[in-house]
Amino acid sequence: MVPVSESAQVQSASVSPNSPAAPGSRSGRADPSASLAERFPGLVCDLDGVVYRGAQAVPHAVDSLDAAIAAGARVVYATNNASRPPAVVADTLRGLGLAAGADDVLTSSIAGARTVAARLSAGATVLAIGGAGVADALTAAGLRVVRPTEVRALAGAEDDARTSEDAPVGAVLQGYGPEVTAADLAEAAYAIQGGATWVVTNDDLTLPTDRGVAPGNGSLVGAVRVAVGVDPVVVGKPGPLLYELAAETLGTDPEHTLGIGDRLETDIAGAHAAGMSALHVLTGVHGPAELVRAEPALRPRFVAADLRALGAPYIEPSRRLDGSWMVGDQVATGRGSGAEFAVRFDGGAAADDWIVRLRLALCILWEAQDAGKLSGDEAVAALPERR
């Protein structure tokens, strides 16, 4: 959470000079009574852990997004999940009660297909590894799609059985799919060794499921990497491309576009890479312990319990000249060092508001870590207890 002062006060050490949310941005000087949806007309929203968990909507997500849209904001749902086409994702969102169409969904397959199309001529042959979303995105980008089974069949054919359409594979687009096999990965490796450009939709090592944690696309990419000895072009989060495409779809510039997510190293990093501010919600993967340990580049400007923050006034913490931090009439001060470090909260109507206390504590604890006053473990121990 990058703090922004409403007066000419000392800038926090937690603010990166390259941060899109550094003090002085027009968004940072917005009316403090305005909601985030009013301050940011474009919202780029992650799905897993933010809008839904498995087949269930995250509490308050649907109502909050509906209210933001009613207030004039536009929403694009951006996901690293490459396996499903946008229309299928939109069906899921409508089933939860959101008014979403295929044009409101951007997947890492779309970003991957755009990247491949920019490197090859129209109609070039691309090997699609992964779910239906990968092949559909390539076809929409004007490329000829082949599947691993087709390539295997062709490899066993006699030369005189080949046709003019049996062109060499110019690129491999690798995304996640639950049915991907070792034989599919082998075909990807053979094509890459033969000179094909290798693009992957994301390199997430794990995939949360309702039964536990499964290997993600990054694990499958790792298997191919070992075989070919080269690194792929990665287009999904935490890279900026998915967010840049979202801003293009929304018609907003980065300064007025808010990235929303629950994972620091993908959602928050991706928004920052595209020059956007980020809202981290505590409904998914990363909680306060991960937030307080985050390196400066991964610290979100905004932190909230859930998406209800979109419709509520958001007063950002400001650093006072005496080193304390404040939100409204709630003041927090850091004292001590190492295992003895503590955050003290004083007065105000927000004294019992845990999320406000967390925002203040994060600013203090980030600053103390940056100054070498305490370790990550010590910062976690100093977080306010949830009430």
Beta bridge partners of 57: 52
- Catalytic one of 48, 184, 262, 267: 48
CA–centroid distance for 225 within its chain: 24
Task: Verify whether residue 48 is a known catalytic residue.
Answer: yes
β-strand pairing of 105-107 with 144-146: unpaired
* Secondary structure element (H or E) that encloses residue 148, with its range: helix 148-155
| Measured distance CA(137)–CA(104) in Å, rounded | 15
The candidate with the shortest Cα–Cα distance to 61, out of 348, 345, 309, 243, is 309
Helix (H, G, I), strand (E, B) or coil at 315: coil
| Measured distance CA(97)–CA(307) in Å, rounded | 15
Beta bridge partners of 302: 279
CA–centroid distance for 262 within its chain: 7
Sign of the four-CA dihedral 252, 285, 14, 347: positive
| DSSP structure class, residue 232 | P
Contact 257, 250 (CB under 8 A): yes
- Catalytic one of 31, 46, 329, 353: 46
Contact 382, 289 (CB under 8 A): no
The candidate with the shortest Cα–Cα distance to 278, out of 313, 240, 330, 312, is 240
**Distances, alpha carbon 121 to alpha carbons 116, 136, 141, 209, in Å:** 9, 18, 11, 38
Task: Verify whether residue 267 is a known catalytic residue.
Answer: no
| Measured distance CA(240)–CA(157) in Å, rounded | 42
Buried b (16+ CB within 10 A) or exposed e, 94-109: eebebebeeebbbbbb
| Measured distance CA(335)–CA(303) in Å, rounded | 23
- Residues annotated as catalytic are 46, 48
